[in-house]
Amino acid sequence: MKYTEEHEWLLADDDGIVTVGITEHAATSLGDIVFVEMPEEGATVAKGDECVVIESVKAASDVISPLDGEIVEVNSALEDDPGKINEDPTGDAWFFKIRTADASQLDDYMDEAAYKDLIG
User: Where in the chain are the domains?
Assistant: 2-103
What pLDDT, in 10s, does the model give residues 8-66?
A: 999 999 888 999 999 999 999 999 999 999 999 999 999 999 999 999 998 899 999 99
Least confident piece of the model among 24-28, 56-60, 68-72, 80-84: 56-60
The pLDDT, as a whole number, for residue 9 is 98
Q: Calculate the alpha carbon distances from 68 to 12, 85, 94 in Å.
A: 14, 24, 18
% the chain with pLDDT above 90: 93
Q: In 20-82, which ranges are continuous DSSP H helix?
A: 24-30, 77-80
Domain 2-103 has CATH 1.10.645.10: no
| pTM recorded for the entire structure | 0.94
